[in-house]
């Protein structure tokens, strides 16, 4: 059936280089947290933010 926009989110999975929908319940079951301060951005901006975060976290 069709997924409600409240039940699923759309995004990019870098581990398999694929765009698609994911269940919000599955995300929460795997220790994801909701970020209510999130602001939409372009994909290239998101990749930079993730890269910056990983460099701060892992020192790379």
Look up the domain containing 13 and give its range: 8-58
Q: What is the pLDDT of residue 60?
A: 65
- Condensed to tens digits (0 to 9), the pLDDT of residues 13-47 reads 888 999 999 999 999 999 998 888 988 999 999 99
The number of domains in the chain is 1
CA distance 40 to 10: 12
Per-residue 3-state assignment (H helix, E strand, C coil) for the chain: CCCCCCCEEEEEECCCCEEEEEEHHHHHHCCCCCCCCCCCCCHHHHHHHHHHHHHHHHCC
Q: Is the pLDDT of residue 5 over 70?
A: no
Classify residue 34: in a domain, yes or no: yes
Predicted pLDDT of residue 21: 94
Residue 10 main-chain phi, psi, to 5 deg: -110, 135
CB 25 within 8 A of CB 7: yes
- Asked if residue 35 is part of any domain, the answer here is yes
- 28 in a structural domain: yes
Q: What is the pTM of this model?
A: 0.58
Q: 17 in a domain, yes or no? A: yes
């Amino acid at each position: 059936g069709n997924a409600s926009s409240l039940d699923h989110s759309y995004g990019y999975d870098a581990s398999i280089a694929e765009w698609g929908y994911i269940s919000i319940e599955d995300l929460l079951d795997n220790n994801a947290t909701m970020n209510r301060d999130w602001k939409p951005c372009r994909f290239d901006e998101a990749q930079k933010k993730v890269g910056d975060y990983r460099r701060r976290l892992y020192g790379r």
